[in-house]
Structure 1
């Protein structure tokens, strides 16, 4: 089969399937939405109709117990009483804006009416065949819909029995004209029909539907309509509303008229108490049109996606061919590179060995730098111990020996951790209090503060601030920064060392400020490089700050140096805080 023909068949099938499935899903969604919306509207119409229809019913009950009504029924031959009754009924009709109010005796004969004396007066007419009379004369409140036999006006009739003691002597009837109720359902694009219990349309916003049957009537139903003269001499024709039973088109009916056939979405709601049904018919095109648009978009999109997939496959095939060609070229290049790699390997190994030797040399120099301070302190404590021993002050001798033991332990720990640092083995990490680190470091160095006449200011939070680190190594960093600060203040007239600890949700910050000479602006970053020093006469080898920064960075921290505007230097250590 020709490739182009094959592709065309594929595209047609894909487009049709996408269109059909999208159309069906969209149609069911839109049709369901329209149906649900119609039901909500029908509920509002039904409540409004009942409210308007039944608002005058209480008037009929009140009038049925009026004394003049009772007297008129007892004296049907008294014209004066009947005239008075007619006036009462007329006044009541005018006040309530009812259609008509009339009084029947127990035989169904109208003896008084609100339209007495006018053309089409009910007086003298017998309505014993009407269901509302039959209901009331049986002792019940009656209600009935029908066309007026004289007025030919559609009305809803409420009837009440009139009692004289236990005996029913007449019936009072109130007629509500329902023509005005059509105004309630006029302003809508839907076709609205209100049916009686026999399925006959008697209210609609489309006059063509009036007095038409929506279903076949039984013989008994036809006889009932004739006997009660519900529609007078109106000929009831068939509406021709047929349901379409299709699996994806529920609640759809087909309406036949002179212009052809149209499909509608039908929603039906019974109106309680009255016994009517209200139906809305929404043009099916309201659901079909957007569904077709969505189906077309889905079909075109699926065809586009097919083209995209085909082009991507072709592109991948081309890339594979290009890759195969490049691999052949790379294989030849790789052979040549391997020849050079063997030569470069020896040079690379020599560079690695050189770097290792440089690192070992840096650590060896650090041992001397970091141990010089505790060794000096030990020498002082030994001299003090000899002096106290000669004075036989043994308690102070014992105290100084304790200090020497602590410093020896400190030196052992420093040597151990420098050894670990140099070999890149991980040091033991614990959850430590920075407050205690600062306090212990200051305690070990207090003799230096006194000798150099340095004023110490410490600001620590009341609660301990914890980090994850090695206790000895953090003490080493703090001690080194304090020592550097003391060295820088040797020539200063004002010697103040400020140590501050603060924290937030993420970081703990240690700030060490001095009033010394400060740092050369061009050397602020250089001071952290190995072997950089500003000390004269070979007093230092420039290792301390380099090691200190390395230690802080091992714990994901930052060590920075700044100059103070008022003179002196400021060092900041920032470390991640521990909340565990």
Structure 2
């Protein structure tokens, strides 16, 4: 027993030391855990910040790329409007015609700042090219193996990025079929250099890549990564690329990028072939669905890792300082006064919080009141805008009536003169007892009065304001009423009027009075355009296209120049001499047709002259 007691005595100081040290060991472990959490949280926040910045840059790069490509998307389809291009595809052996088309493509290429423009026949042979002066001209090359040519020959507009087989110059190819009278004659191709986009991409630590559907990098801020692959390509894909010669002589070796960890937000931590200090990067992607391309943005994680380390050290230092403060407080026995001050500070903060809540509530109430007043002012402004638009339409009618005033005066003066003469004759015949002849005179007077009434009635109907409701309107009746107002001018200027309509029962959903205003404006513009022409013919045709009524007004005037076509429907734009037009007719007409749910189009005819097409929805009762 004594021996056992002697062995227990030395262990009591060790147990007391252990009991005293246990809380501090627990505190130390908690501090380390908090520092690790700070590390993780700071790293996650910094990574999220990098991801947000990367997503914004990806959106910016995607918009820039789409804007660049959309500027040239329409260009191949416009080449079929050139009659020499159509003629060359019909007569490929005409070398003089080929020279004219080469010069035309060279000019278009220079103005549009594209790389190359060329014309291909149905067999894939290049007939004309903008680089015809160069030693390595495309003229005579067979490009039938290219996917964009095959797509265009299948009547599908083609788009394709690839490396040129002649010069090895990369670019994006637009292809569109060339048609004449509904029959395909060939393919128009425009090549655009998009390599310039790389100049605006970030340099330094962050990297940007643009890959195709197979994962081949064809644009990158790192030049050594171009024409490398994100992953090894299968044999089938390599065979397909070999047939299409998309990347021509490039080996397409794997880039060697490894995925380390996937994040919850869709991003990935990857290891790149860069040096060790920049090896770990945040990878984000953005798909360009129509072309099956994909942007890859690599953000350098070194700043995020440095921030996490700094947060870890700062947390440890803060915890150490806190422990020192606790020890200092215990040593000085000021814990009671500290608690009292804490309660006072808490009460003061609570009182201040109530004051801030009251001030914020008052501010929100004032903001709500201001928004209500602003909403009322906006509705009043919208009402005034609609009223001003209605007045502008009415002013357009009055302007048309003013232009027709001379013809209207002539139409009324003739019946008035006849009425005065025949009434005087009737009085004399009655005095002489020649009642039968007087009766004939009175009958003629009645017919003249009826004719004047029809004319003034039509003018009054045209001049009245229209309501905003839409109803079925017979198109033939609207054309007849509009022609009645310009009939005198058509006769005086010896204009040949032609009208073609397959069916008389075409009804459009619109307002008859405003439709007549548009037609009168188009008739008047056509007559003005043919003032100095030898052949004067005004033609109107009415057709149906699915659920649309198509009214075409054509003339044999000088046509619409390309420089004017883009400004036709702008207010106050006119090609007439000063004092003969305000430039509001077409702008008002286009607005009226758009309010009907249709559209007003303008084009030059192949035989010369201009054609304006009114597209209106077929009335519901007509489609039924």
Question: TM-score, length-normalised on structure 1?
Answer: 0.52
Aligned to 2:152: 136
Q: Could you tell me how far apart the structure 2 residues matched to 1:229 and 1:99 are?
A: 19
User: How far apart are the structure 1 equivalents of 2:260 and 2:208?
Assistant: 19
C-alpha distance in structure 2 between counterparts of 1:28 and 1:248, whole Å: 11
Alignment of 1:272-421 (within 5 A): 272-316=289-333
Q: Which residue number in structure 2 is paired with residue 457 of structure 1?
A: none
Structure 1 residue 309: Cα displacement: 2.3
1:112-170 CA-to-partner distances (Å, cap 9, x unmatched) read 10111312211111110111101111111111110011111111000110123333221
Partner of 1:50: 66
Deviation track 1:170-205 (CA, whole Å, cap 9, x = no partner) reads 111000012222223245752011111111111111
Between stretches 275-284 and 309-318, larger displacement belongs to 309-318
Rounded to whole Å, the distance in 2 between the matches of 1:73 and 1:127 is 16
Structure 1 contact 244–250 (Cα < 8 Å) conserved: no
Q: Report if aligned partners of 1:15, 1:300 keep a CA contact under 8 Å in 2.
A: no
Measured in 2, the distance between the counterparts of 1:78 and 1:19 equals 82
> Deviations 1:84-134 (Å, cap 9, x if unpaired)?
111111011011111000011101011110111312211111110111101
Q: What are the equivalent positions in structure 2 for 1:160-179 lying under 5 Å apart?
A: 160-179=176-195
Task: Report the counterpart of residue 199 of structure 1 in structure 2.
Answer: 215
Question: Contact (CA 8 Å) 2:147, 2:244: kept in 1 or not?
Answer: yes
SS at match of 2:39: helix
* Cross-structure match for 2:94: 78
Q: CA deviation at 1:302?
A: 1.2
Instruction: Identify the residue that residue 540 of structure 1 maps to in structure 2.
Output: none
Native 8 Å contact 1:264 1:283 kept in 2 = yes
| CA shift for structure 1 position 307 | 2.8
Q: Aligned in 2, Cα 1:96/1:28: closer, same or farther, shift over 3 Å?
A: same
Matched, 1:244 2:260: yes
Query: Quick one: distance in 2 between partners of 1:55 and 1:189?
Result: 32
One of 132, 136, 142 as aligned partner of 1:126: 142
1:155 alignment partner in structure 2 = 171
SS in 1 for 2:74: helix
SS in 1 for 2:132: coil
Computed over aligned residues only, the root mean square deviation of the Cα atoms, in angstroms, reads 2.5
How far the C-alpha of 1:207 sits from its partner, in A, is: 0.4
1 or 2 for the larger relative contact order (CA 8 Å, sep ≥6)?
1
Q: In the alignment, which of 81, 99, 116 is matched to residue 115 of structure 2?
A: 99
Structure 2, unaligned runs of 5 or more:
1-13, 337-624
Distance change in 2, residues 1:143/1:317 (3 Å): closer
Alignment of 1:428-447 (within 5 A): none
> Structure 1 pair 142/151, CA: closer, same or farther in 2 (3 Å)?
same
User: Does residue 13 of the first structure (1) align with residue 33 of the second (2)?
Assistant: no
In structure 1, the residue matched to 2:438 is: none
2:83 and 2:335 mapped to 1: Cα distance? 106
When Rg is computed on C-alpha atoms for both structures, the one with the higher figure is: 1
* Partner Cα separation in structure 2 for residue 59 and residue 246 of structure 1: 43
CA contact (8 A) 2:119 2:127 kept: yes
The alpha-carbon deviation at position 81 of structure 1 amounts to 0.9
1:12-51 residue CA offsets vs partner (Å, 9 max, x unmatched): 5244212201010111111111101211111111111111
Displacement of 1:216 in angstroms is 3.0
Secondary structure of the structure 1 residue equivalent to 2:247: coil
User: What is the deviation of 1:291?
Assistant: 1.8
| In 1: Cα distance, 2:199 partner to 2:227 partner | 18
Confirm or deny: 8 A CA contact 2:285 2:297 kept in the other structure: yes
Structure 2 distance, partners of 1:286, 1:258, is: 16
**TM-score of the pair, normalised by structure 2:** 0.48
- Distance change >3 Å, CA 152–CA 284, structure 1 → 2: same
Structure 1 residues 293, 249: CA separation in 2 closer, same or farther (over 3 Å shift)?
farther
| Separation of aligned partners in 1, 2:53 and 2:203 | 16
Aligned residue in 2 for 1:269: 286
Q: Could you list the per-position Cα deviations for residues 473-517 of structure 1 after superposition, in whole angstroms to 9, with x for gaps in the alignment?
A: xxxxxxxxxxxxxxxxxxxxxxxxxxxxxxxxxxxxxxxxxxxxx
